[in-house]
Amino acid sequence: MQQLMINHHSLLVRFYTLTLLIVISMTSVYAEEIKTTVEDQQELSLTVYNQDLALIRDVRNLKLNKGLNRVAVREVSAQIRPETAIITSLSHPNSLSLLEQNFDYDLLTPQQLLQKYVGKQVRVIKTHPTTGAEKEVVATVLSANNGVVLKIGDRIETGVPGRIVYDQVPDNLRDRPTLSILANSNVGNKQTLELSYLSGGLSWKADYVAKLDKDDKYLDLNGWVTLNNQSGASYNNAKLQLVAGDVKRVSQPRAAQHRDVRMMKSMAADSVAEMAEGSLFEYHLYTLGHKTDVLQNQTKQVALLSASRVPVTKEFMLQGSQHYYYNKFGVIADKLKIGVFVEFENEKKNDLGIALPKGIVRVYKNDSSGNSQFIGEDRIDHTPKDETIRLKLGDAFDVTAKKKQTDYKKESALGKYSHAASSSYEIEIHNAKDEDVVVKVLEPVPGDWKMIKSSLEYEKVNAHTAQWLVKVPAEERVTLSYKVLVRY
């Protein structure tokens, strides 16, 4: 008996649940749709990450009916992630219950409209080629795949013999991306609604332009944010914030990624005010000091920072390799490349001292005629304040090196070592410039090593690196020779 009562109760629950779903479905079909556009917009803000991701917060005023409402939120991003959408009432908290939401991205085009009318009647208007008189006939659309197939009377025709007239636009075909919402409201009056969601198609990057002075002692640095909008929507009068940092995201299946990809068509520059920098969790947040427009298919540049006469250090560096110490070699190289680096401190006293987003630094310098010339670029990672920024600009033309192994001898391996060898090297550095240079020589020595002798003073900068600072006078050559014992 008890089991029968339980089964009866279960059937009643299922019946009432099904009835409620049917009522909601019928209401959503027959209730008049309430449309909201950007004209209702009260506030708009974009928080853009440098990983093709943005958080969009859209606040609109809208009159809702008490009870169930079908709301069409137009002009949302075409790359919205609908599963992340949250809509709340700011003016009447807890008055809104979301029952259903759909993202309609099946947009109105002549081809889409024709496909929606397959199996339905349309009117075809034909124009007489001589008199220009128009004649209207009724046709049934049989197919719209790779062309048009129409049934006109008892004939089957392909192609479009004239203009096609449709009675109406189907409800499931939108002229722009729309988020459709079925919600229950406890009150029936004007409300302020906030819609927030994540979207693809918006991203940003940092770019820096540096200009060295005549003596390579100082540089002027300007930073720009380049914002790309391929989201399928425009954002007018928006508060703009950018997040720098490596935010963890769960990768989406390829099929779930939106396919709306377009090329940039325009570029806008916005340099009214630099961006204010602050913290957000373990990331950094940059806020533009004024509202701005971020248009669809636009590349927008915003000033990030500006600093003048930042002290820099120029360095020539010759980097060695470990594998030369394992075996016999003769001449290792006749013309080794010597890298040219500049570095500066990201400190407040240098008009910097803020977290710098990762990006490319492009460096320029005036030639003897006063014309600015590009001399190299390098990529920096996210750099906190009070850190050193080091840029490799290329390889020196007038400073070169030769390296050879002058001796190699296997030694007795004792104790825990299975291999031991001593080897000797000569590095000749040639300075063809008309000024003295200092070349930093870094040799990564493997295993347990000991410098037996060296013609110049060296420093063991870490467990596996020997460093020499070799001063080479103008238009002269200096040879560094050393011998090292390696055990492993």
Q: Full-prediction pTM beyond 0.75?
A: no
Rounded to whole angstroms, the Cα distance separating 411 from 448 reads 13
Give 468's strand partners. 441
Count H helices and E strands in the chain, helices first: 2, 34
Model confidence band, residue 256 (pLDDT cutoffs 50, 70, 90): very low
Parallel/antiparallel/unpaired status of strands 67-74 and 33-36: parallel
Max CA pair span of the chain? 109
Q: What is the pLDDT of residue 14?
A: 54
Model confidence band, residue 59 (pLDDT cutoffs 50, 70, 90): very high
Written as six digits, the tokens of 23 are 């009522």
Rounded to whole angstroms, the Cα distance separating 459 from 440 reads 11
79, 199 contact by CB (below 8 A): yes
Helix (H/G/I), strand (E/B), else coil: 16 = helix
Rounded to whole angstroms, the Cα distance separating 444 from 439 reads 16
Model confidence band, residue 10 (pLDDT cutoffs 50, 70, 90): low
Rounded to whole angstroms, the Cα distance separating 362 from 420 reads 46
Helices (H), 367-488: none
Give 151's strand partners. 140, 156
488, 446 contact by CB (below 8 A): yes
Rounded to whole angstroms, the Cα distance separating 294 from 233 reads 9
- The domain 315-338+396-487 is placed in CATH, from the list 2.60.40, 1.25.40, 3.30.160, 1.10.150, at 2.60.40
Does the structure show a pLDDT above 90 at 423? Answer: yes
Q: Which of 422, 387, 429 is nearest to 406 (CA)?
A: 422
Domain boundaries, the chain: 1-26, 31-106+174-199, 110-165, 202-206+213-304, 315-338+396-487
pLDDT digits (tens, 9 = 90+) for 60-104: 999 999 999 999 998 899 899 999 999 999 999 989 999 998 887
